[in-house]
Amino acid sequence: MCPIAAAGFDGYHGPLMPSARSGDAFRLAGALAAVAAVALALRWWLADSNAATVSISLLLIVLIAAATARLWVAIVTSIVAMLVINFFFLPPTGTFRIADPHNWVAVFVFLAVSLVASNLSAAARARTREAVARRDELARLFDLSRDVLILGEGPGAIAQLARSIARRFDLEYVAIALPQDGDWNVHEAGTSTIDLDRRELASAFAAAHASLEFDAMARTYAGHRVMNAGTEHVRLVPLRARTMPIGILAAAGRPVEAGTLDALAGIAAIAIERASLLEARKAGELARQREELQTTLLASIGHDLRTPLTAIRVAASNIQSPALGEADRNEQSELILSEAERLSRLFQNIIDMARIDAGAVATEPRWTHAAEIVAAARDQARHSLQQHVVDVTAEGDVPVRLDPRLAAGALAHVLENAAQYSPAGTAIRVLTRLHQHELIIEVLDEGRGIAPGELAHLFDRFYRGGAGAETRASGTGMGLWIARGLLAAEHGRIWAENRPEGGARFTIAVPVQIRPPESSPSHA
């Protein structure tokens, strides 16, 4: 007899549910009714008392019962069919006595054939159920493996893994317990809530350290155990990275084979190790970026500090010369003021960059006009715009509520960039308009445009365009990055594109509140 079928387990090797028992009872009643109908038809309707015909007809019913129901249904049907043959068709009829010894042989051969055929059919059905169950478990493992490949990074990765296991394997409770500083960091998922005993977890973890033996019969490694938590039976499986235990997987709910649980724990351990490696790689990348940033910052600032300081020192020395005329003295004074303003702008950029990195850019929204923002930005960038004509066009310049200081600062950096990458004497156009509760500011220049390979890096820190800069030595590569950071504090955006007629277009979009026309003026 097939062990699976005899034990009365379903496709997942779990106990029979009430619905399965009621279904078997219904099939048994149908099989017995079919036996009675065939017996009546052969006995009284066809008046056929041939034992061979009766046996074959009833054996067909037994085989149908074995193919559609569990083994016990086929066994009961076989016994009832044998008794029907004995009572109605073997002389002396109407009794359970058998006069002819040959009929004894026929009765027992019928019973043996029906039982053997029923057992073979039940075994085939059990193997089919087992194959389907294993196929389903393999599909679940495959789906979980795909989840691991797209698993995110950061502290929520392990909790996301626990949710994936609970969802894929239809488990009521899943917990991934990882040892941490003498305690356990437990990530739970599922519809049930279970208080895991930390002592049981520690005991299971210590047992996993003790041995790494493979049980060929159970198809699992050592360390599996069951923990009772109230009415729930929680299965504990070691999580092993290579051969070393790194934690415990706890599962409760739908029965899952021990071998499948072991494979599941292996996939979970790989996912945990992958998340750890990703975090280590991210930390290493951040450290490399910090070192690279410090090196670039020092090189960029050192270069941009030396140039204006040298110019100021030379101009100051020239002013002290008694032979210098009044016009030349004024020119040197203007040069000193210009370079001092350039130094002030550089230090302001450094301060803004530090504030953006620290997330300390505070917003102070108030009611203002787009024209005021453009005017403030032009004033900040006046030194860079001296050799350009700035043409401003405003559409629907109504009061809007935003932080004008941040918006003007970002626009000033964009204007400086446009001036740097446009030929002297060309016009820079600034267009402002409102669109779906956003203030849109466009800056259009007449330079050479943006190379396709530069679009992806245009707003990176310290990135300087490779070609087309009219004042190449004056840029630090911080301006556009700072502009994006200032706008991000207001949930704004900035992007760049090439114009079909030549030059580049930078677009700033900042969410704003628009004052209704009937509102009274306010500067709150």
Pairing status of strand 389-394 against strand 427-434: parallel
Model confidence at 433, pLDDT cuts 50, 70, 90, reads very high
Strand partners, 130: none
Cis peptide before 500 (omega within 30 of 0): no
Taking residues 288-308, what's their average pLDDT? 67
Burial class (CB in 10 A: 0-12, 13-18, 19+), 322: exposed
In this prediction, residue 469 carries a pLDDT of 47
Query: What percent of the chain lies above the pLDDT cut of 90?
Result: 18
Taking residues 158-170, what's their average pLDDT? 87
Q: What is the pLDDT of residues 247-270, one digit of tens each?
A: 889 999 888 888 888 888 888 888
In this prediction, residue 54 carries a pLDDT of 78
What is the torsion angle, in degrees rounded to the nearest 10, for the CA atoms of residue 113, residue 118, residue 121 and residue 126?
A: -140
In this prediction, residue 222 carries a pLDDT of 65
Residues 334, 329: Cα–Cα separation, whole Å: 9
| φ/ψ of residue 434, rounded to 5 | -110, 135
More confident residue, 111 or 429: 429
Q: What is the pLDDT of residues 185-209, one digit of tens each?
A: 888 898 888 888 888 888 888 888 7
Helix (H) or strand (E) holding 56: helix 51-68
Is it the case that residue 297 has pLDDT exceeding 50? yes
- pTM recorded for the entire structure: 0.47
In this prediction, residue 14 carries a pLDDT of 43
In this prediction, residue 202 carries a pLDDT of 85
Is it the case that residue 66 has pLDDT exceeding 70? yes
In this prediction, residue 431 carries a pLDDT of 96
Comparing CA positions, the residue from 467, 460, 449 lying closest to residue 506 is 449
Is it the case that residue 8 has pLDDT exceeding 50? no
Contact 410, 483 (CB under 8 A): yes
Model confidence at 411, pLDDT cuts 50, 70, 90, reads very high
In this prediction, residue 3 carries a pLDDT of 36
Contact 158, 175 (CB under 8 A): no
Residues 106, 95: Cα–Cα separation, whole Å: 17
In this prediction, residue 374 carries a pLDDT of 95
In this prediction, residue 397 carries a pLDDT of 78
Count of CB atoms within 10 A of residue 72's CB? 15
In this prediction, residue 47 carries a pLDDT of 61
What is the torsion angle, in degrees rounded to the nearest 10, for the CA atoms of residue 275, residue 276, residue 279 and residue 285?
A: -120
Residues 458, 461: Cα–Cα separation, whole Å: 9
In this prediction, residue 304 carries a pLDDT of 63
Tokens (6 digits) for 450: 């943006």
In this prediction, residue 229 carries a pLDDT of 80
Three-state secondary structure of 300-323: HHHHHHHHHHHHHHHHHHHHCCCC
Highest mean pLDDT range out of 83-87, 183-187, 489-493? Answer: 489-493
Taking residues 160-175, what's their average pLDDT? 88
Is it the case that residue 418 has pLDDT exceeding 90? yes
Contact 407, 487 (CB under 8 A): yes
In this prediction, residue 49 carries a pLDDT of 61
Is it the case that residue 415 has pLDDT exceeding 90? yes
Is it the case that residue 320 has pLDDT exceeding 50? yes
More confident residue, 220 or 176: 176
Taking residues 424-453, what's their average pLDDT? 92
In this prediction, residue 456 carries a pLDDT of 83
